[in-house]
Structure 1
Amino acid sequence: MKAILFEQFGAADVLKIGDAPDPVLRPTDLLVRTHAAGVNRADLTHRRGGYGWPDFGDSTIMGLEIAGEVVAVGSEVTGYQVGDRVMGIVGGGAYAEMARIDYRMAMPIPEGLDYVQAAAITEVFVTAHEALIHLGKLEPGETVLVHAGAGGVGGAAVQLAHAVGATVITTAQASAHALVRKMGADHAIDYQTEDFAEVVARLTDNRGANLILDFIGAPYFERNVNSLDFGGRMVQIGIMGGIENARIPLDRLLYRHLQIIGTVMKSRSQEVKHAMSRRFKERWLSQFGKDGLNPVIDSVYPLAQAGAAQQRMEDGLNVGKIVLTM
């Protein structure tokens, strides 16, 4: 099969298309002919050497998110058969023409969605559901601040929060404000020209948000804590802005009974990942389609141009998901 390979860590141009052996089917696997694969920031970290030379459980090949057609089924698999259209999160191996996926991580592709759309769903929406609902306990009528609302996980979180019935505030560059409002944001803050803490205070009559989802890290940390209402929760799901010099206003944390929760999917056990996928599937899968939830697609590249696709993400040019097609 054709796959994206690289022999040394580095810039996007280290990625080359080449030949790799087909995955070996295990008892709990689906073998999938991959039609599309989502590009995620974890792929950039992988390419730069942030994980070393990992085997995330399914493959040493890059990529964590697939959509395709089942071509073989393991002996212990239930609920799937050859010919099914499936999508899901894999432990490596998405940047290839064939991939294997534990059937407990797989989901049927909703009717009416194509493979490109399907490849843009699971990583971001499962992560968003886990942060918003399972950990963040978002309830109808609450106010949530979602940072980076035009990004993959951020955009998914905006949609889910709107569907829950929350008031949604999000940060995004001004050019993306129309998009985030279309996805369900009630208020959009231009992080380049506005102080989000001041805007949140104004919008909430100085009470603050009930929940904040943050991808940025240290540069936003103190302002995030100061932007939480009494009993508020913050879920940290990224550190794009770094980890140095994060200031914690401990008096605010203590006297307002705040909760700060960190989460990352990659380092969790398989059992936890199965549960995360199951929770998302049971709550939201039936709501995807023409008039419901939908992934936002930024751009589509052929597999051989994986380096260019990653460079677009690295340059911060994408609004929504970047997808590779095979």
Structure 2
Amino acid sequence: MKPVPLSMHAVRFHAHGEPEVLQYDSVPRPVAGPGEVLARIEAIGVNFADTVRRRGGHYPVPSPLPFILGGEAVGEIVAVGPGCNPALIGTRSFVFPGVGCYAEYAAVPVERLYPLPQGLDAPHSIGLFVQCLSAAMILRHAARMQPGETVLVQGAAGGVGVFAVQLAKAWGAGMVIGAASTEAKRALAMELGADMAVDYGRPGWGEEVRTATGGRGVDIVLEMTGGRIAEESMALLAPFGRSVVYGSASEQPWSVDPETLPPRNLSVTGFWFRQYLDRREMLLDFLAEFGVLAAAGKLRVQVDRVLPLSRAAEAHHALETRATSGKVVLVPDALYA
């Protein structure tokens, strides 16, 4: 085991703003406290929520300055704090401290360690955590998807979308409709199993969906866009339809008239990944199922790009300009090849 240094590199922002506020700093290495372990980071998941916190947008958890982003990573346990099993040292895990993963080391509560799948490297493994788990819990728990139902996946080539398309098909959806902004992204959605792909930035896309469903509409919407597209998606819901809101990429407001819900038994619900961390058994069951699906060729991890930690600003810029298809991953510079 290599000695653990007293300092490390991390990406922080000292003020809110554009991606350029992200700085590659030398900072003290964290120490594992009671009930914590110290992880040497191998791969870091970049999520849209990171860009919201960097900009100073609305986020349910404070981001005190200077702030190290990064909720999720894959890492090797190199030290344990009081009360933790020393046998953890040398093991590799998903880690979810919630903050601090844009770094070479992170201190992680021991209950926020999760087993890695077999046969995947660190950059591909990290795709199965926040985004694949989000897709799974949105479909099965928040939306209560049933076999034969029609599912509309907004951002079908994005981090959550690529998994939502695949899982909906694997779990028996009757039709999966991928909504994406470019021809290449729509082609990817079809490649991953969507039955239809639409350009939801083009006028009339909703009529395409209605025609394809025989005028009935869709049972489930994975809502991550907001604004006009959210309202158009709501109008497509069939009787007993459910819209699950898990983001607002456009940052445009939208509204729902409550009086329109009862006549068709519609529902709108929210989803936030962090609160599901308290449902550890559910997460473990899903992670085990992902391994089985991946081994059977029914679940593919789509990594868009892997960048060194020092280029985190580039990763944020790619996410915010919608230039990505799948997971964006950072790795410590010493591991970047």
TM over 0.5: yes
2:27 is equivalent to residue 13 of structure 1? no
**Secondary structure, counterpart of 2:111 in structure 1:** coil
What secondary structure sits across from 1:35 in the alignment? strand
Aligned partner of 2:200 in structure 1 is 191
1:72-106 Cα distance to aligned partner (Å, 9 max, x none): 24455579722222124331011000112333332
Is 1:214 the counterpart of 2:220? The answer is no
Superposition RMSD in Å: 2.5
**Which of residues 169, 185, 208 in structure 2 aligns to 1:176?**
185
Extract unaligned runs of 5+ from structure 1: none
Corresponding residue of 1:104: 111
1:239 equivalent in alignment to 2:245: no
Which consecutive unaligned segments of at least 5 residues does structure 2 have? 1-7, 333-337
Residue matched to 1:318: 324
Q: Which amino acid aligns with 1:280?
A: F
- Alignment of 1:263 onto 2:278: no
Report whether the alignment pairs 1:295 with 2:295.
no
Q: Distance in 1 between matches of 2:33 and 2:233?
A: 45
Which of 115, 124, 128 is 1:117 aligned to? 124
Equivalent position of 1:147 in the other structure: 154
How far is 1:281 from its partner? Answer: 2.5
Q: Give, in angstroms, the shift of residue 39 of structure 1.
A: 0.9
Per the TM alignment, residue 290 of structure 1 is displaced from its structure 2 partner at its CA by 7.2
Residues 138-157 of structure 1 deviation map (CA, whole Å, 9 limit, x = unaligned): 12211111111000011121
Question: Which of these residues, 229, 234, 249, is aligned with residue 238 of structure 2?
Answer: 229
- Counterpart Cα distance in 2 of 1:80 and 1:188: 48
Mark the CA change 1:221 to 1:316 in structure 2 (over 3 Å): closer, same or farther: closer
- Partner letter of residue 226 of structure 1? A
Distance between the aligned counterparts of 2:85 and 2:289, measured in 1? 21
In structure 2, relative to structure 1, the CA distance for the partners of 1:118 and 1:231 (3 Å cut) is: same
- TM-score normalised per structure 2: 0.87
Query: Residue 170 of structure 1 aligns to a residue in which SS?
Result: strand
Tell me how far apart the structure 2 counterparts of residues 78 and 277 of structure 1 sit (CA, whole Å).
22
Which residue number corresponds to residue 137 of structure 2? 130
**Count of residues in Structure 1 that have an aligned counterpart in Structure 2:** 321
In structure 1, C-alpha distance between the alignment counterparts of 2:119 and 2:203, rounded to whole Å: 39
Q: Which of 83-92 and 144-153 deviates more?
A: 83-92
- Residues 149-187 of structure 1, C-alpha deviations (whole Å, 9 max, x = no match): 000011121111111111211101222122111222111
State the shift of 1:292 in Å. 3.6
Measure the CA separation in 2 of the matches of 1:44 and 1:242.
Answer: 12
Return closer, same or farther for 1:323/1:75 CA change in 2, 3 Å cut-off: same
Indicate the SS of the match to 2:249.
coil
Displacement after TM superposition at 1:113 (Å):
0.3
Give, as a single letter, the amino acid of the residue that structure 1 aligns with 2:137: E
Q: One-letter code of the match for 1:184? A: G
Q: Greater shift after overlay, 175-184 or 303-312?
A: 175-184
Per the TM alignment, residue 279 of structure 1 is displaced from its structure 2 partner at its CA by 4.9
Cα distance in 2 for partners of 1:235, 1:19 equals: 40
Q: Which amino acid aligns with 2:158?
A: G
Rounded Cα–Cα distance in structure 2 between residues aligned with 1:117 and 1:60: 26
For residue 49 of structure 1, the aligned residue among 50, 56, 65 is: 56
Q: Percent identity?
A: 34
1:61 corresponds to 2:68: yes
Cα distance in 1 for partners of 2:84, 2:269 equals 34
Q: Taking structure 1 as reference, are residues 211 and 308 closer, same or farther at Cα in structure 2, changes over 3 Å only?
A: same
TM-superposed deviation, 1:53:
5.7
| Aligned 8 A contact 1:144 1:161 in 2 | yes
Deviation at 1:251, TM superposition (A): 4.8
Does the Cα contact within 8 Å between 2:225 and 2:248 map onto a contact in 1?
Answer: yes
Give the direction of change, closer, same or farther, for the CA distance of 1:271–1:108 in structure 2 (3 Å limit): closer
